[in-house]
Structure 1
Amino acid sequence: PVHAGSEDVGALLDWWQAQALDVCFLPTPIAEYAFGRNLGHAQLRTLLIGGDRLRKLPADLPFELINNYGPTETTVVATSGRIDASQAVLHIGKPVANTQVYLLDAHLQPVPVGVAGELYIGGAGVARGYLNRG
């Protein structure tokens, strides 16, 4: 909604619930706020989230939840995936088209499954000025 005081999250979610939506996007912190207050949406079939790390999720969402991840260096979304509340670990999904992701160690070598590393993203979505900057 466009009005003075639009930083009011409660007013935003009241407006959101009143809209006839099948699919929509909410920033992750706003979605978590709604989840924490058991706010639903009568018509919503798919909720896209992104912009921050997803930390918590209710077990019984009445709609499909798609988690989008994209750091500042990429143009909006680098990975995307459906989140299932029964999963033990919340994830960032798989690379979107024309994107590659790598989990590398301090020597820029791929790490084995289950080992911590740093996420590197390549492809058409990486913003200018980041090529070969390591």
Structure 2
Amino acid sequence: MPQRKIKRYVCVRRGLGCPALSNFFILKEATEVEDLTLKEKLGVNEVRVSGYLHFLSGESIKENRCGRYFQCSLRRDFIDINGEPRHDYLLMRTYDPQIEETLCSLEDGAPIYIEGEARSSLGSGKMYILIKSVTPLS
């Protein structure tokens, strides 16, 4: 009988040394974990996360050497290991005016789904999510 290869998705945890980002998991299509090369294991930098839109107080439009960007955060509510409610605020940025327009059209606290990349600021080293797409959830 011929051997069938079954496609499955391997869940790769990407903490990137940041406690706020340690809950992100990456899905990669593979037949076995061993099918991932070291370069693939180290090259995964995708973020898919949902939460509640939170506008930052103060200046939300800034500029750096890459251009003008809009920043806000994503509030994640869950119960921590001690059974206490926890609220994490994940910083997000976008250079895309269409994504900025979509975010600004939503109310503070609106549920959203984000796809992007985990990055760190060149100047301060702060971790943030570079938004590639945003989907409002209803």
TM-score normalised by length of structure 1: 0.21
Instruction: Compute the TM-score of the two structures, normalised by the length of structure 2.
Output: 0.20
As a proportion of its length, which structure holds more strand? Answer: 2
